[in-house]
Amino acid sequence: MAKISIFIIIGWLVLFLTPSCIDSFILCMKPMVMDQVLSDRDSEDEVDDDIADFEDRRMLDDFVDVTNDEKHLMHLWNSFVRKQRVLADGHVPWACEAFSKLHGQELALSPALFWCWRLFMIKLWNHGLLDGYTMNSCNVILERHQGKGLDIQ
């Protein structure tokens, strides 16, 4: 009996399955249980971080009057905010401190990124989303990372 290749179309995704992977694909398919079928939960609203990151980078690449460092910082921030689900203005101070802790080493190693982050915090302050105390806390975190970088070199 000859085995054939199969095309499977799922929404906008087309899968091409060769005879060797058809069996493994069919084995990983599981039927939905009745609770999943009858539930109100819709998986279409789930965020795929890899796809969201790809789309974010593609969108940022379209900007022509922005430096690569600014684009990189915007991507880091957008990705962080999406993954941490920063939804309200009141979450921004926490997000800035957490972002400074998470990406502090990278920001400290690149003076251009470092200053982009500081200018971004100033813009947040101008819009009333960030207070001076939190800006100072973020700068202290970054200065600690810079001090660690100087010790390493």
| Per-residue pLDDT tens over the stretch 25-69 | 444 556 667 776 677 665 665 656 666 666 767 776 777 777 888
Domain of 17 in residue numbering reads as 1-30
Q: Which amino acid is present at 91?
A: H
Identify the pLDDT of residue 153.
44
Regarding whether 83 and 114 lie in a shared domain, the answer is yes
Residue 133: pLDDT band with limits 50, 70, 90: very high
Regarding whether 54 and 17 lie in a shared domain, the answer is no
* Domain contains 65: yes
Regarding whether 79 and 13 lie in a shared domain, the answer is no
Regarding whether 125 and 78 lie in a shared domain, the answer is yes
Regarding whether 113 and 60 lie in a shared domain, the answer is yes
* Domain contains 38: no
pLDDT tens-place string over residues 100-113:
999 999 999 999 99
Identify the pLDDT of residue 73.
87
* Domain contains 99: yes
* Domain contains 24: yes
* Number of neighbouring beta carbons within 10 Å of residue 69: 16
Claim: this prediction has a pTM higher than 0.85: no
Regarding whether 25 and 51 lie in a shared domain, the answer is no
Regarding whether 65 and 12 lie in a shared domain, the answer is no
Regarding whether 109 and 56 lie in a shared domain, the answer is yes
